Structure 1
Amino acid sequence: MAATSGYSLRWLLLVAPGMVLLVTGLASSDVLTQIHWRRVRELLLCGALLWLLPSLAGWLLGRSRTVVLCALLLLAIPVLHGLGPTLAVLGLFLLALRLGSLLGLGIEQQPLISLTVGLSVLAALAGWLLPWPMPLLDLLILALLLCVGWLWEQRPALLRQGRQLLSTLHRRSAFWPLWLVGMGWLPAALPSVQFDDLAYHLALPLQLEANGFARLDAYSQVWSLAPWAGDALQGWAAVLAGHSARGAVNLLWWLLLWSGVYRLCRAAALPGTASRSVLVGAAMPMGWMLLGGQQTELPAAAVLVALVAWLIDPAKLGPRRQGLVGGVLTGMLLGLKISHLAFVGPLLAAAALSRPRRLLAWLPTAVPATLIVAGSSYSYATWISGNPVLPLYNGWFGAPQLPVENLFDRRYAEGLDLSDAFGLWFDSSRYFEGWDGVAGWQFVLLLGPLLWGWRHWRLQQPSDGSLLDGRVAMAALLLGALLLFAQMQYLRYLYPVLVIASVPLALGLGSLSQQRPRLATGLLGFVVVLNLLYVPNVSWILRDRILPAGSAGSAAGGVWAARMAPERELIDAALAIDPHASILLGDIGLPYLAHSSGRALTTSWYDPELSAAAAECANDARCWPALWQRAGISHLIHRDGLGPAALDDALTLHARPLRLSQQAALYEIDRPWAVQSPVVPNEAWTIALPGRPPWRVEVRVEGRCLPGSSLGLSDQRGLLQQRNCPSSGRALQRVQWLQEAAEPLQLRATGLQADGPATLHWRARHDLLLARESTLPAWLREARR
């Protein structure tokens, strides 16, 4: 009895401080007033339906409600994201499994790590192939066909894995974790309207799908050469789907992440806690924001979980093969973002102190694998700009694409102090672009169980090849997170470590539940609900809409996306008019370039040259037309009231509106035609093109011809266009082409009647986007020709 009382007192002392901290923080801040109750009601209604439907269907069919819920979620993927993206992700899944097996990880031998390793290899392949024009769709289809035979051979293993999954789903404890993970289907189904996606992340997959290569134009978008592993994998999916498959790919990472956390926690010495780790982790609001975009922290969390699991409990493959797998996972983390060195570095240092000989045995294969998987973006950035981490640290490297200064976001560089321990949870808006209360309330309320679980994190069956145990790994990650946070106080960057912290927290709750099961269940339920109340606070998008507007491609979804970011619709309209249009986004704060497949420019700091030119024109309406002419701008997108008054005046005088979308308008820049008349048939005439090459040249020839005769227009290099004279006898030829040679243009018209009047109209504009491609290395320019 005394022992039981002592145990209860110990847990009271561990749980009570968290309760006091939570109540004190809520009472002393305005975080409770920031709950968006309308969105919360929508979220809770959807959650109730997601509980009710599988429960009723399972009761009527005599099946487990968890199995029915799993089936419903799988069926919802093609409805919400479309059949193309669903099949594309399924293809990536199969390719990743095959690549994982080639590295020695079979379907039945740590399948989650095998899948993560395979996705990492796919991302690395895409990264190295990015600049080269290639038939990517043909390559992917061929690779999938080569996997068919292997897949057929793996039928028994796949069936065994399927039975094991069904066995897991039949457990009573599996329903609520799957329910909470399934709620993540909501933000993943929203269209891509996050700022960073529209300005940067979507560009790479859309360029791969449209052009077969990425432009890598750091003059027009300074982030073009930044680490791109996540976007490169999205590019493979976009090529297979025919358009962006962001939501479906994010669901793959989301499932990998929480399956990995479940496995990591289940391997610990305290049984029955794995479902709790998923519940406390998946309820964190930050993950819901990541599902709606292409930020790197979601795949980084999944890869970091796999790396920690591998360091703690690697498969029995021999040290060189173990090092190869560890190197691939490490390379993927660094290929996603250079700042992940803050996590990788302490982990490797801890491994060197704990198991130096085992780590040395890994290095011969781990180091080359890391360099190959991570190295594509850093290598191309070095070759193209001289700065491997462009646009960061350019004060050191001096790349010509940017001013020679170190880029730093000073909004999140106030320095580390004790107030951050309070501010992260009760004043979260200081640390990212959102509202308060989104850092995860479990780390306040359940701080005691977290520390207890950290102390007792051990494997049920310790591995002979382990480099770390859980306690050391968690300590190393917390040290890395602290170092990263000390440099930049930005909450989103901490998400991968916060996810892994859910494992010791669940272990602590599991230990509490052995003596006080109702208290443990009550605390877990309370913290999950509290986190869900603050999901809308994580993003302005989720405060506007938390439920999908409709099925994939629905009109309602398109209307909502156009309201959030009308620039997407207007870019599509401009490219439909002219596939070679040069579109200028005239609003400094809205550099939504990504959707243009490389045909847009911006006046924001993402394009230093045009940003400086736009600043000079801010108060001079006569300056803007000269800027447009120098840059070869054919169309401009502008939101009313956002730009300087001089820009509005210039558009009134020198452009005409083509289309309106919400508060934004698409303008066509006036470019008058030059006229040459008369044109003598069969004789050459010379045009001196203005400015510098390359030019987009348009020519229109009008005259009389004999019906059925052949009409031709040629320059000094050869024939530009040939067609038959119409029955009316009136010739009208329109030709547009790219002129790269810096020499006068000599044109000749054939087939016109000598006795009839003939007139030539022409105009040309400089193509700044192509001119900037001329700064790429010669070997890359030649490959693209």
Structure 2
Amino acid sequence: MISAATVPAPEQAIKEPAIEEPGAASWARALLWIGAPLCLVGLVVDHLGAQWHGGRFAGLIVLSLLALAAAGALRRVLGWRLASGLALAWLLAVVFYAGVVPALATMLFASGALALGSLLQREAPPALRIACGLILVAGALGWLLPLPVHYGAAYAGLCLGLAAWQWRALAASWHATATQLRAAIDAAPRAAALAVLVLGLASTGCWIPTMQADDVVYHLRLPWQLLAQHHYPLDPALHIWALAPWAGDVLQAVPQLIAGAEARGSVNALWLVLTATAVWRIASLLGGTARTAWFAVALYGSLPLTAGLAGSMQSETPTAALLAWLVVLILEPAPRTPRVRIGAVLVGAVLVGGLLALKLSSAVFAVLMLPWALWRHRRVPAPLTLAGACAIVLAIGGSSYAYAAGIARNPFLPLFNAWFRSPYFDPVNFDDARWHAGFDVALPWNLTFHTDRYLEGFAGGGGFVFVALAGAWVLAFLHRRTAAMALATTALIVAPLIPMQYLRYTFPATVLLLPLLSVTAFRIDPRRAAWLLAGVCVLNLAFQANGFWLLRVGQVKMSIMEAGRDEPAFRARVPERNLIAAIRGTDHGNVLALDAERPYVAELGVRGRSISYYDRSLQRAAQSAEAQADGSAWVDLLHRAGITDVLLRPATTTSAQRAALARLHATRCQVEGDVEWWHVPATKAAR
């Protein structure tokens, strides 16, 4: 995690002529503002008031007032700008609630990444060098996962060594960045304060412990496995997603190994800052002023999914950062010298490789931007440079696909298995039937006002940008300087919605849309655009809780009341995590989640087993075992799987399962909420 000091220099906005046009035609101003009444109609007609969570919005107001009070005190005592005081307040809050040691580990990791990225291209902005350094680490470690070399002390030493080696360059980078940040704030102090305030409210998602469903059934598996056994077994028989692209989880694992505790909150805070920095720079490269750029950052922070994804380990958070910096590279003027030109190509290759390493669909984003990049720079790299760039992409992003192809005969397991027919999954193409609400011209409206059809959320949980700023979106196509990016960004938003109408997949592309909309709004109506954009930010924040269930149930408030302690939250939401913490202190064998609907054992690594679809062999065995009511088949299953401990819910435990536990003389060890931990002493562990 790093401070807001990584916001880029304002010189792009100061030196380049602004493209605001006070004389814009009245029809253009009318089109710009048409989204405001449309939003009002949608709020009324679709009854969004019934799904509005006023308590969460009130909580955001209270947090805003507290942050403003702290920043105001710093302003009076030290003479700081309000935005600088707000940045410090939010930074300290993340450090406290995400954990001091994990935050320090993340800062060390970021420093090492900056040093590593500086070797690639020293002229690049520090935030871009950090992003590249992170991806270089993820790419290298992806190939090394099966080897028992993953120790926190080794990673800490490596980061310290890199930082010490490049300490002069790092010190110069931080000093220059701090100077540039002050200049950026001074250029538009009120807009900067709004942006930092809103981004800080989004960072409250980093305060909550890791409890999102995909995290506790999958994403936690790799970091905790490395922490426990220092290597990652490549076995899709134990977990069907074991060989899926893993860069996001690898980057979560490194600071966790250094700290000895989960670092998701501080890592996600780092990604928030890196993305906001890129959004600021995109707006300035499009000709916007510092004020325009800060409003683009505010729009990013206000999106409900920005805060929601900050509370999870989903790959869309880092994807947004890498994609935004890739756009920066495309928008930057073509380098004049061959050395810098080659460096820019290699940086782009690292970012594309990172997108491939995060998720296949993220790599598709990069492919869709390729025509724009070629058109923008009017040149194709030399064959040797191009071959080197492709090799870098594959070296960074190819590890999971190569291992999956070699082990499971499907590089995308469990996707596309109707074609590859890997024995580890059914011969069908993996799909989620929940997200096929239909692709049509009404989709932007439905994504906004019927979000629950397209996301595990509530109405308004996707934000109101698609409708409220629809006029700015259209107008962006009509200006020479923004038309190409408007076309590319629209293609990126539309592409993932064609096969599956799932809103989360569009989040990274939506982030790219925001600086475009901010620049266009100020170009058309520079005197009043701030009111429109600020109104959209407030409306987005009002429905922030609708984008993520943990925000809606008041988890941020609970984290505050519990002073950052995770155990009470786990007891209330995911009691399995408290039970697993107790089991981890024993020398027992494997642990079985006996409820197929709650396979929340990812943090146990290979010791965590379930009878859900994630563990195909046990799922089939469990279905067969239910045919014998005396529990004897279940006894055999538990013995074969080396199960010594069981997590169950009495309400869903079958009679056959109860009979098996009785035959094995299992004893109940602990109860958390509606989940019980039973120990099976008669079973021999298979470790």
Structure-1-length-normalised TM-score: 0.79
Query: Structure 1 residues 477, 365: closer, same or farther in 2, change over 3 A?
Result: farther
Map of 1:781 onto structure 2: none
Where structure 1 has 5 or more consecutive residues not aligned to the other structure, the ranges are: 459-469, 672-763, 771-785
Contact kept in structure 1, 2:24 and 2:525, CA below 8 Å: no
Which letter maps to 1:116? A
The within-5 A match list for 1:201-350 is 201-271=219-289, 272-313=291-332, 317-350=339-372
Q: Which moved more, 1:343-352 or 1:587-596?
A: 343-352
Which of the residues 589, 596, 612 maps onto 2:604?
Answer: 596
Paired residues for 1:71-470 under 5 Å: 71-106=88-123, 109-143=124-158, 144-152=160-168, 154-170=170-186, 171-172=188-189, 173-271=191-289, 272-313=291-332, 317-352=339-374, 355=377, 357-359=379-381, 362-456=385-479, 458=481
Higher mean alpha-carbon deviation, 647-656 vs 608-617, is at 647-656
**Equivalent residue of 1:418, what SS?**
coil
Distance 1:455 1:140 in 2: 50
The amino acid of 2:585's aligned partner reads A
**Matched position secondary structure for 1:357:** coil
What residue is the counterpart of 2:675 in the other structure?
Answer: 664
Q: How many Å separate the matches in 2 of 1:208 and 1:68?
A: 38
- In structure 2, give the amino acid aligned to 1:260: A
Task: Find the aligned partners of 2:561 and 2:590 in 1 and give their Cα distance.
Answer: 30
Secondary structure of 2:613 counterpart = coil
Cα separation, partners in 2 of 1:178 and 1:216, compared to 1, 3 Å: same
Structure 1 residue 485 and structure 2 residue 485: aligned? no
In structure 1, C-alpha distance between the alignment counterparts of 2:668 and 2:48, rounded to whole Å: 45
SS of residue in 2 equivalent to 1:636: strand
Task: Give the Cα separation in 1 of the matches to 2:112 and 2:438.
Answer: 44
Does 1 or 2 have the higher relative contact order (CA < 8 Å, sep 6+)? 2
How many angstroms apart in 2 are the aligned matches of 1:155 and 1:636? 52
In the TM superposition, residue 132 of structure 1 has moved relative to its aligned partner by: 0.6
Whether 2:572 is the aligned partner of 1:563: answer yes
| CA displacement at 1:99 relative to structure 2 | 1.4
CA shift, 1:175, in A, is: 0.8
SS in 2 for 1:407: coil
| SS state at 1:634 partner | strand
Indicate conservation of the 8 Å contact 1:81/1:551, yes or no.
no
Shift of the 105–146 alpha-carbon distance from structure 1 to 2, 3 Å rule, reads: closer
CA distance in 2, matches of 1:473, 1:8: 22
Q: Distance in 2 between matches of 1:197 and 1:430?
A: 22
The Cα of 1:670 is off from its aligned counterpart by 5.0
1:196 is paired with a residue of what secondary structure? helix
CA drift at 1:111: 2.1
State the distance in 2 between where 1:298 and 1:114 align.
Answer: 18
- Which of 607, 612, 615 aligns to 1:607? It is 615
The residue that corresponds to 1:573 in the other structure is 582
| CA–CA separation in structure 1 for the residues paired with 2:679 and 2:22 | 79
Deviation at 1:423, TM superposition (A): 1.2
Q: In structure 2, what is the Cα distance between the partners aligned to 1:633 and 1:192?
A: 26
CA distance in 2, matches of 1:6, 1:161: 36
User: Residues 470-481 of structure 1: matches in 2 within 5 Å?
Assistant: 471-481=483-493
- Displacement of 1:292 in angstroms is 0.4
Distance in 1, Cα, partners of 2:152 & 2:669: 35
Deviates more, 1:341-350 or 1:617-626: 617-626
Tell me by how many angstroms 1:668 deviates.
Answer: 1.4
SS at the partner of 2:273?
helix
1:214/1:128 CA distance change after superposition, 3 Å:
same
Q: Quick one: which of 78, 86, 93 aligns to 1:69?
A: 86
Q: Matches of 1:334 and 1:291 in 2, distance apart? A: 21
Q: Distance in 1 between matches of 2:444 and 2:104?
A: 44
| CA displacement at 1:212 relative to structure 2 | 1.2
Q: Does the Cα contact within 8 Å between 1:188 and 1:292 map onto a contact in 2? A: yes
Q: Which amino acid letter does the alignment assign opposite residue 216 of structure 1? A: L
The residue type paired with residue 602 of structure 1 is: S
Identical residues among aligned pairs (%):
30
User: Are the counterparts in 2 of residues 229 and 332 from structure 1 also a CA contact under 8 Å?
Assistant: yes
Aligned length: 656
**Other-structure match for 2:647:** 637
**What is the rounded CA distance, in whole Å, between the counterparts of 1:71 and 1:396 in structure 2?**
52
State the distance in 2 between where 1:218 and 1:266 align: 46
Q: How does 1:636-785 map to 2 (within 5 A)?
A: 636-652=646-662, 654=664, 655-669=666-680, 671=682, 765=684, 767=686, 770=687
Q: Distance in 2 between matches of 1:670 and 1:432?
A: 43
Once residues 564 and 308 of structure 2 are traced to their aligned partners in structure 1, the CA distance between those partners, rounded to angstroms, is 23
**Following the alignment from structure 2 to structure 1, what is the Cα–Cα distance between the partners of residues 407 and 509?**
34
Deviation of 1:577 after TM superposition, in Å, equals: 2.7
User: Once the 2 structures are TM-superposed, how far is the Cα of residue 241 of structure 1 from its aligned partner?
Assistant: 1.1
Q: Distance in 1 between matches of 2:345 and 2:661?
A: 60
| Residues 383-405 of structure 1 deviation map (CA, whole Å, 9 limit, x = unaligned) | 22111111111222222222222
Q: Which has the higher helix share?
A: 2
Partner of residue 514, structure 2: 502
User: Structure 1 pair 279/135, CA: closer, same or farther in 2 (3 Å)?
Assistant: closer
Take 2:113 and 2:595, find their aligned partners in 1: how far apart are those partners? 41
Q: CA separation of 1:537/1:5 partners in 2, compared to 1, >3 Å: closer, same or farther? A: closer
- The structure whose residues are more often strand, as a share, is 1
Distance 1:308 1:5 in 2: 28
- 2 CA distance for matches of 1:23 and 1:155? 50
Aligned residue identity for 1:267: L
| 2:139 and 2:396 in contact (8 A); partners too | yes
Q: Which amino acid aligns with 1:301?
A: A
Structure 2 equivalent of residue 28 of structure 1? 45
Question: Which letter does structure 2 place at the counterpart of 1:136?
Answer: Y
- Provide the aligned C-alpha RMSD in A: 2.3
Cα pair 2:667 2:679 within 8 Å, conserved: yes
The 8 Å contact of residues 310 and 317 in structure 2, kept in 1 or not, is answered as yes
Shift of 1:319: 3.5
CA distance in 1, matches of 2:36, 2:86: 34
Compute the displacement of 1:40 (Å).
1.8
User: Closer, same or farther in 2 for the Cα pair 1:621/1:417, shift >3 Å?
Assistant: farther
**Residues of 2 paired with 1:158 and 1:17: CA distance?**
43
2:155 is matched by which residue type in structure 1?
Answer: L
CA distance in 1: counterparts of 2:546 and 2:436, whole angstroms: 22
Larger CA Rg, structure 1 vs 2 = 1
Gaps of 5+ in 2: 1-20
Give how far 1:496 is off. Answer: 0.6
- 1:153 deviates by 5.2
TM-score by length of 2: 0.90
Matched AA of 2:129:
S
1:585 and 2:629 equivalent? no
In structure 2, distance between residues paired with 1:281 and 1:457? 24
> Does structure 2 retain, via aligned residues, the 8 Å contact 1:187–1:546?
no
* CA–CA separation in structure 2 for the residues paired with 1:156 and 1:637: 53
CA contact (8 A) 2:447 2:462 kept: yes
Map of 1:540 onto structure 2: 549
CA contact (8 A) 1:15 1:445 kept: no
Cα deviation 1:578-630 (Å, max 9, x = unaligned): 2x421100011111121213211000011111111222234634232232223
Counterpart CA distance in 2 for 1:347 and 1:289 is 26
Look up the SS of the partner of 1:330 in the other structure: helix
Q: Structure 1 pair 590/18, CA: closer, same or farther in 2 (3 Å)?
A: same
